[in-house]
Structure 1
Amino acid sequence: MADQPTADFPVTLTAGTLMPEDADGWVVPHAWTDRGVLVQAAPNGAGVLHVAVALCVLNDVYREGEALGVPVRGVRVAARGEFDTESWVSTGITYAVDVDSTAPGDTMAKLVARVDEVAEIPRVLRAGMSVERDVG
């Protein structure tokens, strides 16, 4: 089978001390941060899907950090994935997390691993799901 052409849809979400002062994007109010979350993404369905993953991970870094007593000053989550441009089937999503914290590296590694286990949107996508149109 020949390689299909693909399109990449990267997104970056930042909050707290890792949120840049002068960056293009839109700010979403956020319970864990005073300035909200800066979303940098293409305004299309693929970008929004990747934003859902990144925002879920960002939220859970703050939530799990608080639960574990890990101070979180800022978070950056970059997510990306390609889509086959003929079928528009996703080839998968990857994400990377940066956290600004005073906690030691091994504690941060445990926090990020915990977030990867519990983050709801990545878990739903990994498990697979149906999406149906309501015709009622």
Structure 2
Amino acid sequence: MNITATIRNSRQDNDIVVETQGNQKTIPIPGKPAGGGSSVNGGELLFLALATCFCNDIYREAARRNVTIESVAVTVTGEFGGEGDPASNISYQVQIDSDSPDSEIQDLIRHVDTVAEIHNTLRKGVRVSLRDAA
């Protein structure tokens, strides 16, 4: 699965496009009022990526188990130090509304923790490389 994320920012515009397998979507995130970047920072988006991944994977894995989920809430927290420092103390909490037994939901949560792709990407420490500008 090929995924691309692009931001084009100027003082007047903040255009964000994400794409998976040719399916493009725009994400409305305003720019900073004075220009020069987004009003949302990268750490917030990283934590949102973790929360979104886990939420989506809960529904995917629940469907595979024939478990009905009414709602999911995922809250990710962590810390960033000084400029250039990586995040630390990242943790997340999950709340699921379902008529299924609590033991079944807890088992589902533990399983999704092992298969959530964004979580596993960070846990593995995948290399990020800068390519030459075109």
Alignment TM-score, normalising by the size of structure 2:
0.67
Deviation at 1:80, TM superposition (A): 1.1
Letter in 2 for 1:100: D
Deviation at 1:101, TM superposition (A): 0.2
Q: Does 1:103 align with 2:100?
A: yes
Misfit runs of 4+, over 6 Å: none
SS at match of 2:55: helix
- C-alpha distance in structure 2 between counterparts of 1:60 and 1:122, whole Å: 11
1:128 aligned residue: 125
Deviation at 1:87, TM superposition (A): 3.5
Paired residues in the alignment total 96
Deviation at 1:43, TM superposition (A): 1.1
- C-alpha distance in structure 2 between counterparts of 1:102 and 1:85, whole Å: 44
Rg (Cα) greater in structure:
2
Alignment TM-score, normalising by the size of structure 1:
0.66
Could you tell me which of 86, 91, 99 is aligned with 1:89? Answer: 86
Deviation at 1:134, TM superposition (A): 1.0
Structure 1, unpaired ranges of 5+: 1-27, 29-41
CA RMSD of aligned residues (A): 1.6
Letter in 1 for 2:122: L
